[in-house]
Amino acid sequence: MNIIDIAREVIEIESGEIAALAGHLDEGFEKTIHAILDTKGKLIVSGMGKSGLIGKKIAATLASTGTPSFFLHPGEAYHGDLGMIEPDDILLLISNSGETDEILKLIPFLKAQGNTTISMSGNPDSTLARNTSHHLNVAISKEACPLQLAPTSSTTATLVMGDALAVALMQMRGFRERDFAQFHPGGSLGRRLLTTVSDVMKRDHLPLCSQNDSIKDVIHTITEGKCGLVVITRDKQIEGIITDGDIRRAMEMRENEFFGLQAKDIMSYEPKKITPDTKLTDAAEIMTRHKINSLLVVDAHECLAGIVQMYDLGV
């Protein structure tokens, strides 16, 4: 078997196990979702070894999609960090075998404190499954490891079940793009959803001309302005706009008279305008819908306040 065949077999085995995972969903999953939605506390995820690594990712996904969550190492919990767990918190305990000693040691404390517990394991009859409030079955029939030793299909199944939890919870909460952006202000989505046009627009040295300016003056202003356009104004009021595309079309269609033209002869009289408090996503949608690369930003008096372009939006 060559290298590509080995890789293909791994992918086929794991994809098959994931497809079968949907058949394990039952009322336990629904009860788990409702328990998490109803809690006043946090969802704390815990797991040992590879299950712990997957648990960290699940906790991160939950936290970023509207479910307050963090990962707690079971060994550290048993040696002093149990104080991080409050009675209203729900525990998601991950163990493929359901017999992981470090996880099972947490059960007496959690029962005594009255915490709701969720187990995620590949054995519905395991000690862990029988001693938790709800159980999520992530059983697989075959690991992708040829020795059936290294967690492969089992960790993938656990990860996917965690994603199913996160997505179900975000939909039940009505979690939207703007909510996601609140938790990701440094990302491109957060920037576009939370940042306004006033934060990125060009304000100084705007390319301005009057209606009676010559075509040579217009070309010079477009070149100097580096915005690909010139705004035609009078007494700070916007009268129109000329883009570099307008210049090219005028050269082709009015070649003989081109250098005798004035700005008013080729300008567009109804440029697209927005206000400074417009979100970047809304500005991008307007540009996309009208197939343009720039928008004029106006103040409360409809005077030109700036120019925003597609590349300013980070899209």
Q: What is the DSSP string of 65-99?
A: TT--EEE--HHHHHTTGGGG--TT-EEEEE-SSS-
Sorted by sequence, the CB contacts under 8 Å of residue 120 that are 6+ apart come out as 92, 93, 94, 95, 135, 136, 138, 158, 161, 162
Helices 153-173 and 27-38: crossing angle, nearest 10°? 50
- 255 located within any domain: yes
pTM of the model: 0.66
Lowest mean pLDDT among 32-41, 131-140, 174-183, 202-211: 174-183
- 220-257 burial, b at 16+ Cβ within 10 Å, e below that, comes to ebbeebebbbbbbbeeeebbbbbbeebbeebeeeeeee
137 & 233 share domain? no
Q: What is the pLDDT of residue 279?
A: 85
Q: What percent of the chain has pLDDT over 70?
A: 94
The one-letter amino acid code at 282 reads D
Residue 70 β-bridge partners: 44
Q: What is the pLDDT of residue 121?
A: 97
Listed in order, strand segments (DSSP E) in the chain are 43-47, 69-71, 90-94, 116-121, 134-137, 208-209, 229-234, 237-243, 273-274, 294-298, 304-309
41 & 170 share domain? yes
State how far the Cα of 168 lies from the Cα of 68, in Å rounded to an integer. 15
For residue 297, the domain's CATH number is: 3.10.580.10
Sign of the alpha-carbon dihedral angle for 78, 79, 84, 87: positive
- 101 located within any domain: yes
141 & 225 share domain? no
Sorted by sequence, the CB contacts under 8 Å of residue 217 that are 6+ apart come out as 209, 263
Nearest alpha-carbon partner for 98 in 77, 121, 117, 78: 121
**What are the pLDDT digits (tens) for 227-261?**
999 999 998 899 999 999 999 999 999 988 999 99
**What are the pLDDT digits (tens) for 275-306?**
999 888 888 889 899 899 999 999 988 999 99
135 & 228 share domain? no
129 & 256 share domain? no
Q: Domain count for the chain, please give it.
A: 2
Per the structure, the complete domain to which residue 269 belongs is given by: 197-313
Distance of CA 18 to the CA centre of its chain: 24
